[in-house]
Amino acid sequence: MSELFSTLSDGTAVHRWTLERSGVRVRILTYGGIVQSAEIPDRDGRTANVVLGFPDLAGYLAHPQPYFGALVGRYANRIAGARFPLDGFTYHLTPNDGPNSLHGGEFGFDKRVWDAEPVDGGVRLSRVGPHGEEGFPGRLAVSATYTLDADGSLRIAYEARTDAPTVVNLTSHTYWNLSGAGSAGGHELRLAAARLTPVDADLIPTGELASVEGTRFDFRQSRKVGAGYDHNFVLDKGVTDTPVEVAELHDPDSGRLLTVSTTEPGLQLYTADHLDESLPYAPGDGIALETQHFPDSPNRPGFPSTELRPGGVYRSETVFGFSVRER
């Protein structure tokens, strides 16, 4: 179902699409490809919204920085110095995180209104990013298809094509709180990642792939998440053609269980420690599990490549599965 959600100051309409199946209801906005809500039952059948967001467009416009629920790109995460080399030329991007580019720049995919069309089980959002948008080369035709599987799982499938060599890295910046309210710090996380990419003071990868063994980054066995994470984990499976389960987030109180399956080689764990008093949420009220290629890959030849060339197709798929675990 599609409905008019709001309008921007220039009169551009923003629509909201509601997807419902197997007891799960998800709402998607054409502004920023935002996952506005995901209503999921707990072990007692009580339904609650388990993602962070705002009830109206004004909230997203006034507070863009948390990227609540947004589709981020053209390059998710950070690019050091807001520049990268490609085919002998250095491209200069819009810096919006100190000297670095974050989530596609000052006016990235999260702040665009996407075209929408219904598909079986969901909605396909699409737009064309012109050559030079936020400094990125190539005219990029992008689509993100949101569907609910028969079991109520939320599947997000991305595709992109370019007319010139460029870099692409897309993800959904959804924050999860399986309790429906309050802190998410007591959630338990299992993550199939024996390594991570350590970062410097500006959260730029050093280039090392470090073991999680014996550190606070070891989530190979399920344990409480806590706070203090904004790090990319190197998934054991690497890049795959079809989604493979890599993470499990569990709220012991409600019994809600979220699984994450993806084709991507990395996952950014962010515990939302920087939410401030201007928001209706406190630090730690959500956990982002952003499937992705690694931060700063365009400047790190040793990382999996994010280059896309004419004639090629960027494809990425992530599935968020919902269930409950009994006591």
Please write the tens of the pLDDT for every residue from 160-215. Answer: 999 999 999 999 999 999 999 999 999 999 999 999 999 999 999 999 999 999 99
The total number of residues shown for the chain amounts to: 327
Is 290 annotated as catalytic?
yes
- Write down the mean pLDDT value for the chain: 97
Active-site residue identified among 173, 187, 231, 293:
173
Cβ atoms 35, 28 nearer than 8 A: yes
The arithmetic mean of pLDDT across residues 14-43, rounded, is 98
**What HEC string does 57-93 produce?**
HHHHHHCCCCCCCEEECCECCEEHHHEEEECCEEEEC
Domains of the chain: 2-324 (2.70.98.10)
Q: Give the pLDDT confidence of 100-113 residue by residue, as tens digits.
A: 999 999 999 999 99
| pTM, entire model | 0.97
Active-site residue identified among 133, 134, 290, 317:
290
Is 213 annotated as catalytic?
no
What SS3 class is residue 307? strand
Strand partners of residue 249 = 189, 258
Cβ atoms 15, 44 nearer than 8 A: no
Q: Give the pLDDT confidence of 39-86 residue by residue, as tens digits.
A: 999 999 999 999 999 999 999 999 999 999 999 999 999 999 999 999
